[in-house]
Structure 1
Amino acid sequence: MSFRPALIVVDFQEDFCSGSLAVPEGRTIAPIVNLLLNLPFSLKIATKDFHPQDHISFATNHPVPNNVPFTSFETIKNPNNPNETFVTRLWPVHCVQGTPGVELIPEFDLKNVDKIIEKGMDSRVEMYSAFEAPFRDPIVKEASSGLGQLLRESGITDCFVVGLAMDYCVKSTAIDAQNEGFRTYVVREGTKAVDPGPEGWGKTEKELKEAGVQLVNVDGAEIDKVKALAQM
């Protein structure tokens, strides 16, 4: 079997590091992310939440009293099939197009990134995954990022996922990558969770394993296999 690995760095943006939706210790993963970016991955991708001001995930776009960031939830309907629904937590306004919070952090070594994928631009749907909105009956094509097609056109076989946050966008991106047919790994040291406890990080580890996603370490055999590509 061929081995053409891709690195996907999820949403390493100002609002998730120091802004309105800061992930605890999120900024501290920069050295690991940059270390991985220097390895001979066949394709290196960065993703960005790129929301319009009226995005459905923002608590301010919902009526009181059920519009409290972090604690309120909303049931979202598939725009193309109202019988398919998704329950999502509501968030503070974050990663709005044209604002400083949408920018990738300056510590992130962008010179080694081949492609930036923007997601979450359809105001009607939540989009944790860098591939698709969380609807499958049918897929909301208007929200699709094109990431799956890009990976296939590049001949990618394996996806290594890092970034923010482990229990939301990293998890959803990794599970979608696995479901798209790529062998998928999350590098533990390259991500942080909104909730680092058992209900966040702990639960996410179980969900990833159930989906077939492997959790690996930066000094593990899987990363060594990427390093070995430099000798070929």
Structure 2
Amino acid sequence: MDSDGSFVPALIVVDMQEDFCPPNGSLAVQDGRSIAPVINSLLSQPGFVARIATQDYHPADHISFATNHPAPNNRPFESMVAVQNPAPGKSAETKPQQLWPVHCVADSPGAAIIPEIDIRRIDTFVHKGRHSQVEMYSAFADAFGNRDPAVTAQSVNLAIAAVLAAKRVTDVFVVGLAGDYCVKCTAVDAVKAGFRSWVVEEGTKCVVPASWEKTKEELGAAGVSVIRADDAVVKRLAGE
């Protein structure tokens, strides 16, 4: 870490949970388990001042679960429903929500972090998506971009931006699942929250593998740097 405080990095490991991993995950990402060694290597780097793991932690009646809606508009991966902004006075604002199989129900085996991840090195666990009526892909904000803890308190168990700010973090490194959803949204919102944001390419996989090139373009346009695991900035984490 630079002595002048210009580089104070944190690592966010996004949703490395059983339901997002083969062979039995209800919303398994192809080769999701294969990135664990890269993530563990990053977790072991001495430069991080915070190592945070996020987990989807939905109630059983979550609005994104296809089974919570009547046919015929309840096909996972296909159907959409309208959700309302939970912020006070903004309930008239709606947006479409894609429906998913039931996944990562709070306290269920599917919500657990896979054993391949060295959770002994994790110092903070973030449970997100707890509000039954709104999705939360990003660890920083709900689907409507609400970041005010007064609004997101029902969605997430702690305000991650405040955790990072308390440690004077300047740079956020994001890995995990999935690259085209929660990793992307977390990395983009890290920029909006005032941090330099990095995604380590070998440390993520996508729900739709073919979407990664487009996702990288979206990340770049939002100010996120997509890097390889051997990038010079990663080597700084090891004091090289």
Find out whether 1:113 has 2:117 as its counterpart.
Answer: no
The aligned counterpart of 2:188 is 175
Gap regions ≥5 residues in structure 1: none
The aligned counterpart of 2:12 is 8
Q: Secondary structure at the match of 2:92?
A: strand
Pick from 11, 25, 30 the counterpart of residue 24 of structure 1: 30
User: TM-score if structure 2 supplies the norm length?
Assistant: 0.91
Evaluate the alpha carbon distance shift between residue 181 and residue 95 of structure 1 in structure 2; reply closer, same or farther with a 3 A threshold: same
1:5–1:159 Cα contact (<8 Å) kept:
yes
The aligned counterpart of 1:194 is 207
Please provide the CA RMSD for this pair.
1.4
Deviations 1:78-134, CA, capped at 9 Å, x for gaps: 023123223221100000012110100001001111111110101010000011102
Gap regions ≥5 residues in structure 2: none
2:141–2:147 Cα contact (<8 Å) kept:
no
Q: CA deviation at 1:138?
A: 8.3
1:166–1:194 Cα contact (<8 Å) kept:
yes
The aligned counterpart of 1:87 is 96
Q: Secondary structure at the match of 1:175?
A: helix
Rounded to whole Å, the distance in 2 between the matches of 1:87 and 1:225 is 41
Pick from 100, 105, 118 the counterpart of residue 96 of structure 1: 105
The aligned counterpart of 1:70 is 77
**Sequence identity (%):** 52
User: TM-score if structure 1 supplies the norm length?
Assistant: 0.94
1:84–1:137 Cα contact (<8 Å) kept:
no
Listed as ranges, the matches of 1:29-68 within 5 Å are 29-40=35-46, 41-68=48-75
The aligned counterpart of 1:147 is 160
Q: Secondary structure at the match of 1:83?
A: coil
Deviations 1:10-34, CA, capped at 9 Å, x for gaps: 0000000131000000000000000
Q: CA deviation at 1:184?
A: 0.2
Rounded to whole Å, the distance in 2 between the matches of 1:169 and 1:185 is 14
Q: Larger deviation: 79-88 or 172-181?
A: 79-88
